[in-house]
Amino acid sequence: MLPMKPIFLTLAAALSVSSAAPDGKQLFTTNCSACHMLDQMVVGPSLAEIRSLYDGKADEFVKWSIAPQKKRPGAIEMPSMVHVGEEGLRAIYAHVMEVSKGVVAKKQEKGDPFAASPTRTVRPQVQRIFMPNASPASIALALDDTNSLCWDAGTCRLRYAWTGGFIDGFPYWQGNGSSLAKITGTVKYTEVASPFGKGAAVKFLGYNVKGGLPTFRYKVGEQMVTEAYSPVSEGEGFVRSFAVVTKAPLVLDFPAESGAAITTDKGKLEGGKLTLTPAEAAAFILTFSLK
Ligand code: HEC
């Protein structure tokens, strides 16, 4: 294996931060599966084809993923996967080579791979994709068949939540001038600013996915924040489980016009302001019911 220079990029480091060795399968699902299927070309070439091009060429695979080129006529341009980090891309490489062993590519199927189909619909599901009204480092999360949301790793905050379908990838892959995914549903909740305050300095530290659900880690000023998402037991909405390490009392701001009825298991919630002691801030759960 040729030695490669590590890639120093805040987002690259942040999105791949993890205490354990990177999980190639998980990273593939989140970052690549939207466009690459095992045995047929959808948006990008099949893993069988990629294997035929890159078997034994991990370095070239990593290079392509960081700086993809325009190669196939009619295909859209593949977005750079630099945020996954070199170590993560090597783990994806190992996964791709493993699952594509002996697989023969089929002819192309028509249709949008994001559309619900028995083989493609996985809930919950996390997708790294370009989303409207959010930074390029955003993540789309389908909690269940009804509730989805957009979390922005660039600004470390929830952007909006919607109900109905998940996302329609077609604008994204067809390269028809828009590289943004389209929301298939109705936006019911919008967080206009970070509940931690507008001007606060944030630093994204990474996220893990367990059972399809993400936990984000970030810093707001000196406060360490962990934020996990899960579905509500019934109706429309979502649950956010926070753990905030703070020395001072914590005040979070949820303006009333955002579109959700919020309940908390700790602290005092009045007029959209949630006040918690440092002990309460260490673990609290907010339930957002959408109207
Ligand atoms: C938004 C869709 C999209 C995503 C997400 C995506 N790719 Fe691609 N990928 C493409 C397209 C489109 C091509 C073909 C580009 C061309 O030939 O011009 C491609 C081609 C490739 C190729 C073949 C390169 C070659 O020499 O022909 C590799 C390898 C690859 N992608 C790896 C990855 C990996 C690894 C990930 C995830 C970390 C990923 N892709 C995520 C769309 C995507």
CB contact set of 27 (below 8 Å; sequence gap of 6+): 16, 84, 88, 91, 92, 95
| End-to-end CA separation in angstroms for the chain | 56
Q: Check pocket membership of 99 for ligand 1, CB cut-off 6 A.
A: no
CB contact set of 278 (below 8 Å; sequence gap of 6+): 246, 247, 248, 249, 250
Q: Check pocket membership of 97 for ligand 1, CB cut-off 6 A.
A: no
Q: Check pocket membership of 50 for ligand 1, CB cut-off 6 A.
A: yes
Query: How far, in Å, CA of 228 to CA of 243, rounded?
Result: 9
The tokens 């009204």 sit on which residue?
133
Query: Encoding tokens for residue 194?
Result: 């970070």
Which one, of 22, 134, 5, lies nearest residue 66 by Cα?
5
CB contact set of 257 (below 8 Å; sequence gap of 6+): none
Q: Check pocket membership of 37 for ligand 1, CB cut-off 6 A.
A: no
Cα(191) to ligand 1 centroid in Å equals 33
Q: Check pocket membership of 70 for ligand 1, CB cut-off 6 A.
A: yes
Query: How far, in Å, CA of 11 to CA of 14, rounded?
Result: 5
pLDDT at res. 172: 60
Cα(63) to ligand 1 centroid in Å equals 11
pLDDT at res. 221: 93
pLDDT at res. 200: 82
Q: Check pocket membership of 71 for ligand 1, CB cut-off 6 A.
A: yes
Query: Encoding tokens for residue 174?
Result: 């067809």
Q: Check pocket membership of 252 for ligand 1, CB cut-off 6 A.
A: no
Cα(242) to ligand 1 centroid in Å equals 35
Q: Check pocket membership of 32 for ligand 1, CB cut-off 6 A.
A: yes
Residue to substitute in 78, 108, 125, 173 for testing ligand 1 pocket (most ligand atoms within 8 angstroms of CB) = 78
pLDDT at res. 18: 46
Q: Check pocket membership of 171 for ligand 1, CB cut-off 6 A.
A: no
Cα(28) to ligand 1 centroid in Å equals 11
Q: Check pocket membership of 134 for ligand 1, CB cut-off 6 A.
A: no
pLDDT at res. 146: 92
pLDDT at res. 164: 92
Q: What is the mean pLDDT of each run of 10 residues along the chain (291 residues)?
A: 41 48 90 86 88 96 95 80 93 97 73 48 81 85 94 93 84 59 91 88 88 92 95 94 95 86 95 95 96 76
Q: pLDDT digits over 231-258, tens only?
A: 998 889 999 999 999 999 999 999 877 7
Q: Check pocket membership of 42 for ligand 1, CB cut-off 6 A.
A: no
CA atoms within 13 A on the CB side of 250: 27
Cα(113) to ligand 1 centroid in Å equals 15
Residue nearest to atom 32 of ligand 1 (CA): 65
